[in-house]
Amino acid sequence: MNFKNFKYKILILIVATFSFVYQNGYSQEHPSLILTKEGVKKIRAQLGKVPLFDKTLAKVKEEVDAEILAGIEVPIPKDFSGGYTHERHKRNFLIIQKAGVLYQILDDEKYAVYVKDMLLAYAKMYPTLPIHPQERSYARGKLFWQCLNDSNWLVYVSQAYDCVYDYLSKNERKHLEKNLFRPFADFISLGNPQFFNRVHNHSTWGNVAVGMIALVMNDNKLLDRALNGLKTDNINPNQKDNDGGFIKKAGQKVGFLANIDEPFSPDGYYTEGPYYQRYAMYPFLVFAESLENVKPEMKIFEYKNGVLIKSINTLLNLTDTEGEFFPLNDGQKGMSYYSRELVSSVDIGYYFGGNQSELLSIAKEQGEVLLDETGLSVAMGVRDELAKPFFKKSVVYTDGADGTQGGVGIIRANGSKDELALVFKFSSQGLSHGHYDKLSFSFYEGGNEVLQDYGLARFVNIQQKGGGNYLKENTTWAKQTIAHNTIVQNETSHFGGNFEIGSLNHSNKYLFDVSNPAVQIISAKENNAYPGTELHRTMVIIKDEKFENPYLLDILKVNSAKENQYDLPYYFMGQVISTNFKYTIPTILTKLGGKNGYQHLWNEGVGKSDGENAKLTWFNNERFYTLTSFVSKDDELIFARIGANDPDFNLRRDAGFIIRKKTVKDAVYVSVIESHGNYSPVDEIATNAFSNVKNVDVVFNDANYIAIAVTRENNEKKLFVLALNDISNNSKHKIEIRDKSVEWTGAYHFNNFN
Amino acid sequence: MNFKNFKYKILILIVATFSFVYQNGYSQEHPSLILTKEGVKKIRAQLGKVPLFDKTLAKVKEEVDAEILAGIEVPIPKDFSGGYTHERHKRNFLIIQKAGVLYQILDDEKYAVYVKDMLLAYAKMYPTLPIHPQERSYARGKLFWQCLNDSNWLVYVSQAYDCVYDYLSKNERKHLEKNLFRPFADFISLGNPQFFNRVHNHSTWGNVAVGMIALVMNDNKLLDRALNGLKTDNINPNQKDNDGGFIKKAGQKVGFLANIDEPFSPDGYYTEGPYYQRYAMYPFLVFAESLENVKPEMKIFEYKNGVLIKSINTLLNLTDTEGEFFPLNDGQKGMSYYSRELVSSVDIGYYFGGNQSELLSIAKEQGEVLLDETGLSVAMGVRDELAKPFFKKSVVYTDGADGTQGGVGIIRANGSKDELALVFKFSSQGLSHGHYDKLSFSFYEGGNEVLQDYGLARFVNIQQKGGGNYLKENTTWAKQTIAHNTIVQNETSHFGGNFEIGSLNHSNKYLFDVSNPAVQIISAKENNAYPGTELHRTMVIIKDEKFENPYLLDILKVNSAKENQYDLPYYFMGQVISTNFKYTIPTILTKLGGKNGYQHLWNEGVGKSDGENAKLTWFNNERFYTLTSFVSKDDELIFARIGANDPDFNLRRDAGFIIRKKTVKDAVYVSVIESHGNYSPVDEIATNAFSNVKNVDVVFNDANYIAIAVTRENNEKKLFVLALNDISNNSKHKIEIRDKSVEWTGAYHFNNFN
């Protein structure tokens, strides 16, 4: 034992003694967290009458029964995530929670015995455990390599304890609390203030773990620690976590309530992005449910104008048509509202958020419910056919605690085929999981990516890939600006890739107007990513009946005080079908650059346009897509391939197309992106395989206005004009375009142009 | 008009006059090809009573009604496949056939009018048409760029003509036959003997086109031409088609019957492979149906021991669990038994092949039927719940007219998850669509490729990609040996990539034994691909309960008179997870070689094993796969990536792993391929992510035997021994392996080995 650990043990001892005095607040019945005595009665009365609940119950029973048969294993902690001991302890906490619930619902003692035996096994081992042997984490746990996972464990196990509380003898409870729960709660809080006293999804788990066990043990002092954090922590304001994020800003509020206050915007957008919001939703909501049951006077679901309930709807809106989350910032693709966290969210949201019948249609798709009163009410709603479709709208969500730090816009348009969805990001940094991609976007058609956001460079819980943790390519590639569909100046990332600077800044919404379903606009400005350079990007989804599907118009204005090189990549998914420009391919592949993500791109070819437009058609998932870009003859048109400098094959070999403007001060990038036609390998018939855009032209461009003409193949023209500094609905505008006067009222103008 | 065309026109004139004399064989009723007067009665009596038939009828009616509304368009031919005029004429022939059928079934004159009007429009245009302006084909058509598509047209339009024959006046028929059908049939036969007088899927279409119209016109002379080909053709025996295939061997029989005799093996395997068999099935079967209706005395379905019916089952067995054909030789991936050709095949096969109830389950999946008596009988069978599952077995199909030219083996094994399927090719060249890939294989799990066959380099009917035709990369890459999972000697393709030599040779089956479902074996030898080198490959799917899933054991023996370099590629699908060997990645990518397909491979990394085994684990479709290969320390372990020297981005950027042995005479390649574990991005839990194979060892190897020991992670060993020159069931064998005596009877031995 080293001196540091010794000090810490004494501290634990003192605090443990201290909190023991406070533990008997008032007499409390059990269960009381996610299940209540009253709720259990209701559930028992409905057994066999509510198909979705019964189905879930049967599935959970089968799973738990199999585990009971297999016997309890509580191995000495050793592995990273993906490894045996990690996965075993993870499985234990998931199963013990279910076993506790089964005991309450089915009133079958074998489940209580299983919970008790496992708790006792942990209580026997825990006091003997040193810090976890894997050393990578800034906050190492005991059961797991990081306190985060230890906290997961306690969040679930507290519920199991609550379920068998009355089944256990007083001595058994005393033993468990003394040797397992209190030291456990203290270790992840007092023992790891750098983990517990933050605003971060990690801390949310830590706070809730402590809060849940505090509620079971009826310990108000401990509950206060959970809600409001440690009073003192001595955290160095320069200390960072493993992801490069700051631990804590000086003076920042901490604890569970601060973790609602700070990362959630008033619209319920969680600043880390939907993947981590999903991860945090379980502790946020299961603790809120528990608080509501035990301390209804707190009115937790009304806290910050009911942001917790609001955030459920926000999260559901941040998905594609398959229910998969848009992978903003660090997000692993494929995570969806079918995850267990979202089952909880939907059920709790339905029950405590006014029985919103749209949630029932999501629950139907999920096909399972929580085994508590919230899940029962959802299952009954589904049974009674109360479900209404969950209709995802075009929407903008503010970012930042007070909603003033930019945001994220989603524009959706129904074409003749699947829904098209534009995801446009102009948010704040998003804490340590943020990417340097101001004004970036991704574009979906149904569940397919048309222009992708790369997501993260990590194989979560796949042990062979760096223990399932973040890979170095997450920093060197996935977070870099060039990995995104946004502008890069002089081959450097936004804010120089500096987290501190990035965290101080955000983009600003300029315009969000979807009042006309045929012309849906999102527009934002960014003036800090490259000091001295102003970026203004506007994206419009236009539904023009002369096109097979709505198309995306992308307008990016760059104004700089000095000459720069600008790169605008489009990470198109699929295979090149044709271009309207000549390009040459190299006989050897070299990297596109030396750093800031460029070292991970192979240069697969470079072209030049001999006209005003560069056109690239590609093919994916039996459909054709065309990017038509307004370019100058000096622009380099670069085909890139991800995967250079990738010694462990951690990166996907996906394609990119980069429009490079060299040595210019100001620049205008304008492109139209079409989805068109289809091809079935069974019928072998290609329909509408060609773009319908003959030309994209910038017909006006000054400090106050930009005007784009889109010419169809039949020579008919549409004009889109945007006022760049005035979005007032009442402002009257007038400009001359090629000797014609164009007049309108409001921020933009869209019409025929002949 | 040039002199050549002039001569040809005179020839047509003479022949047309000649055949006019012969046209009135005997009085014949109409319709009589796919519909008969009797059949139409039956169909009308069942309308509204047979859901699958009614559903198809409604769909076809909707489609044809929409086309009738849109009006008839018969444009002057101009485009390649994928282009407007091509696709319009293609659509016309598909629709007119349907309109004819609707006229018969629904007795609604508007369909007859539509057919008549379109026929008259073609009869007006056809006599004015020159040869098609696109010059790429060895046999240019008039409506289309190749006679092949003209023949497609006539096969379908003959049916439409048959359906309205009685509706038309005698004069109208005379006009159509004189100006459209006779010259059309003569042009694709007399006018293009190099197209018509071959054994090839092209010629099958040509023969059938002529045969179908001959049946309608009751012209026995013309029918004889279809069945037996042109008596004289003056084809130069050295002439080749666009795919590099010979037009005709000297003395070869031609015509429809020869096209059954030659390319079909007695097992119903079509030598070009399943993709082209699918393409040819429609003319084969629709003409057979028509012959059976008009000339039942021919007993066409009994021809060559009923090979046409047999071939339907063969073709259905050459699919993965999604019904997609294994892309042997030139085959476009994604083509499946959902294609219209297979709907015809299944229905005709059911009706004329003894009502095999397994076919009904395929028809159910297809969800549509032919609108004739065969389709009616299938739909009634489905309605009456007669369908039984179509169970795909492990099977070997001989290749060659008499079944002596090697073959194709499919081994299937049901594991705990999806079916595993091994496709092992030891066939003949496969005519002009053949690839140089003796003893190659591909490996599937359910509908997913684990180790892929690249298929063809072509985007069928996608105009931007070389008019939808074969791309030059089909020759330079897809057909080359290195593009396949088989051995390459000295970086040259089998037979030096020489079609003439390849066509003279085939591999030979050594052993196919699936009598023990736990040890399913296919083994074949190839002695001509590289003169002086003998190749013997054996593939075994072993079901060992100690493994999660059955695994594939791959044993390739190479014996040569001289020293060579050998490359054995494995085109694994997915992302590298881990290796047990060190490798270095280059800072620039260079091509793996200069020619024979190597010029299309980037060298992404080279490793060396420091042990006896090289292990590569990859991840795809939420599953893990591991290749464990017995290697020497001198072997180079090469990571390759397809896509070098690809100026039009015609190739997919797929991965390959090549085991290279340099400067050796004899070599033994032994590998185990496992599918194991899974990972769900929603649960983020990886199970069984590691290989269960500790070691693969060659424990005995001489001219007569090879023995492999596979050691599991827990050190338990299995031994597989194969007699290399004796497959007799009765032979007794005995060898000494590491001081232990191993004795067995029969070709192979499999047991524990400790």
Interface test with B, best of A589, A592, A625, A688 (most B CBs within 10 A): A589
> With contact defined as beta carbons under 8 Å apart, do B206 and B185 qualify?
no
DSSP SS3 for B440: strand
3-state secondary structure of B537: strand
Q: Return the exposure string of A484-508: e unless at least 16 CB atoms fall within 10 Å of the residue's CB, then b.
A: bbbbbbebbbbbebebeebbebbbe
Residue in A339, A464, A643 nearest the CB of B617? A464
Please identify among residues 318-377 of chain B the ones whose CB lies closer than 8 Å to any CB of chain A.
Answer: 332-336, 338-340
Q: What is the pLDDT of residue A28?
A: 80
- pLDDT for B12 equals 47
DSSP per residue over A603-624, as a string? EEEEEE-SSSEEEEEEEETTEE
pLDDT, residue B671, reads 98
Angle at A737 between CA A734 and CA A742, to 5 degrees: 35
**Chain B CB within 8 Å of residue A641 CB:** yes
| Structure confidence by residue, pLDDT tens digits, B14-25 | 444 444 434 444
Peptide bond into A327 cis (omega under 30): no
Determine which of A210-214, B237-241, B469-473, B603-607 has the lowest per-residue pLDDT on average.
B237-241
CB contact under 8 A, B334 and A590: no
Instruction: Count other Cβ atoms within 10 Å, centred on residue A12.
Output: 16
CB nearest B649 (choices: A575, A584, A590):
A575
Across the interface, which of B468, B602, B685 has its CB nearest the CB of A589? B602
Secondary element (H or E) of residue A148: helix A147-164
Q: Is B121 in the A-facing interface, judged by CB distances under 8 Å?
A: no
Residues of A in contact with B339 (CB under 8 A): 682-683
Give the pLDDT score at B17. Answer: 40
Q: Which of A461, A589, A680 sits opposite B686 (nearest CB)?
A: A461
A702 neighbors A725 (Cβ within 8 angstroms): no
Measured distance CA(B613)–CA(A134) in Å, rounded: 29
Say if B501 is an interface residue toward chain A (CB within 8 Å): no
Count how many pairs of residues, chain A against chain B, have C-beta atoms within 8 Å.
127
Q: Which residues contact B549 (CB under 8 A, 6 or more apart)?
A: B415, B416, B417, B420, B674, B675, B676
Contacts of B639 in chain A (CB under 8 A): 649
pLDDT in tens, A223-278: 999 999 999 888 888 888 777 777 787 788 999 999 999 999 999 999 999 999 99
Q: Do B577 and A460 touch (CB under 8 A)?
A: no
Residue B634 is which amino acid? D
Chain B's closest residue to A86, CA to CA, is: B685
CA distance A49 to A54: 8
Best B682, B683, B688, B713 member to test A by mutation, with max A CBs in 10 Å, is B682
* Chain-chain contact of A332 with B684 (C-beta, under 8 angstroms): yes
> What is the reported pLDDT for B416?
53
Answer whether residue B11 shows pLDDT above 50.
no
Q: Give the sign of the dihedral formed by CA A487, CA A624, CA B682, CA A362.
A: positive
Domain spans of chain A, in order of start: 38-232+247-262, 395-691, 692-754
Say which of B576, B643, B645 has its CB closest to residue A649: B576
* pLDDT value for B415: 63
Please tell me which of the candidates A468, A652, A686 has its beta carbon nearest to residue B462. Answer: A686
A residues 217..246 contacting B (CB < 8 A): none
Encode pLDDT of A349-408 as tens digits: 999 999 999 999 999 999 999 999 999 999 999 999 999 999 999 999 999 999 999 999
The verdict on a CB contact (< 8 Å) between B335 and A649 is no
Q: Which of A200, A433, A600, A676 is an active site residue?
A: A433
Instruction: Please tell me the distance in Å from A625's CA to the nearest CA on chain B.
Output: 13
Place of tokens 């016997």: A71
Burial class of residue A642, CB neighbours in 10 A (0-12, 13-18, 19+): buried
Instruction: Choose, from B122, B276, B470, B566, the residue flagged as catalytic.
Output: B276
Active site (annotated) includes residue B200 = no
Residues A62-87 have pLDDT tens digits of: 999 999 999 999 999 999 887 889 99
Residues 605-624 of A with CB under 8 A from B: 617, 619
- Chain A 523-582, residues with CB within 8 Å of chain B CB atoms: 575-578
* Among A335, A649, A684, beta carbon nearest to B460: A684
Residues of A within 8 A of B338 (CB-CB) are 682
**Residue A602 near chain B (CB below 8 Å):** yes
CA-CA distances (angstroms) from residue B197 to B6, B123, B247, B734? Answer: 22, 26, 8, 56
| Cross-chain CB nearest to A334 (options B590, B641, B682) | B682
Contact at CB, B468 and A338, closer than 8 angstroms: no
Any catalytic annotation for residue B433? yes
Note whether A397 contacts B: Cβ–Cβ < 8 A: no
Selected catalytic residue, list A167, A276, A337, A551: A276
User: Considering CB atoms only, which of B338, B655, B682 is closest to A336?
Assistant: B682
The pLDDT mean for chain A works out to 94
Interface check B504 vs A, CB under 8 A = no
Q: What is the CATH number of domain A395-691?
A: 2.70.98.70
* Cβ distance of A576 and B468 shorter than 8 Å: no
B74's tokens:
């018969």
Q: Do B577 and A689 touch (CB under 8 A)?
A: no
Residues of A in contact with B617 (CB under 8 A): 464
A 712-731 near B (Cβ less than 8 A): none
Q: Do B689 and A587 touch (CB under 8 A)?
A: no
Q: What angle do CA A652, A654, A658 make, to 5 degrees?
A: 135
Question: For residues A359 and A300, is the Cβ–Cβ distance under 8 A?
Answer: no
Residues B584-610 pLDDT 10s: 999 999 999 999 999 999 999 999 999
% of chain A at pLDDT higher than 90 = 90
Please indicate whether, in this complex, the C-beta atoms of A587 and B585 are within 8 angstroms of each other. Answer: no
Regions of chain A with pLDDT less than 70: 1-27, 415-417
User: Which region, left, alpha or beta, applies to residue A147 given φ > 0 means left and ψ of -120 to 50 means alpha?
Assistant: alpha
| C-beta of residue B91 within 8 angstroms of C-beta of residue B73 | no
- Do the chains contact at B335 and A585, CB–CB below 8 Å? no
The least confident of A640-649, B19-28, B60-69, B135-144 is: B19-28
Instruction: Compute the CA torsion angle A161, A164, A167, A173 (nearest 10 deg).
Output: 0
The rounded distance, in Å, linking the Cα atoms of B400 and B407 is: 8
Instruction: Classify domain A38-232+247-262 by CATH architecture.
Output: Alpha/alpha barrel (1.50)
d(CA A536, CA A47): 58
Whether A685 sits inside 8 A of B87 (CB atoms) is: yes
Closest-CA distance of chain B to residue A680, Å: 8
B651: distance to nearest CA of chain A, Å? 8
A447 touches A320 (CB < 8 A): yes
